Every structure is written in C-alpha cells, then in structure tokens.
Amino acid sequence: MYSKSVVYKFTSFTSAKIAAGHCTEYLSKYVVKLEMSSLTITVSKESEVSISANFDDINLLKKFDNIISTLVSELRDAFDFREKNKSSVCVFNYQKETAVDTVKLN
C-alpha cells in the first residue's frame, strides 16, 4: 500500500476549519475515481489540517499528487500556511471494518 500525507499549518484555527471543509469537498469526489483505500482529513487545535490518503497502486498515488498540487494552489490564493508533504510505503495499517454486510428487513 502506498500513502500520501500532507500537513498544512494555518495562521488561525478558523482558517484551518474553513480550509479543511474545502479540502473535504474537493478531495471526496476523487475517492472512487482513484480507488483510494482510505482518505483521512483532520484539524488540530494547533490550526493544522492533515490529509492522509492510501492507495494500492503507485500510479494512483501519482495522480493524487497532481490533484493535491491543484488543491494547494487554490488554498494559497485564500490562506497563509506552511506545508509538509511526503509520500511513503505503508508498512502497517489497521482500520476497523465499518461496512454493513447484511441488512435485515422486518
């Protein structure tokens, strides 16, 4: 599994919340298109927005890199922030299954 992680440090918590909403709206439409294994977007009380996406295919991660670049350009037009960006190979990932396999009708 391949992973992309970015952290954006904003000048205020309000800016981080607004940016996180934009990131969520922008990136959620690519979950199915890029066959993401997972996408996590968080906001910390230190005004940081963290985005982590996992892929089974390196080529899909590379496509996500281009999408993130476009997103960052849009964010830079509206906000001041610092960016940390890294790609990596996932060596361990645990996620509790959240899907429901069956539905009972009464």
Check residue 22 and give its pLDDT.
Answer: 94
Identify the structural domains of the chain with CATH numbers, from first to last.
2-89 (3.30.70.100)
What pTM does this model have?
0.81
More confident residue, 98 or 11: 11
DSSP H or E segment with residue 86:
strand 81-89
Q: Is the pLDDT of residue 96 over 90?
A: no
pLDDT, tens only, 34-75? 999 999 999 999 999 999 999 999 999 999 999 999 999 999
Structure-token match 């005004």, residue found: 47
Cα separation, 76 vs 13, in Å, equals 16
Mean of the per-residue pLDDT values of the chain: 88
Q: Is the pLDDT of residue 2 over 60?
A: yes
User: Bridge-partner residues for 10, per DSSP?
Assistant: 81
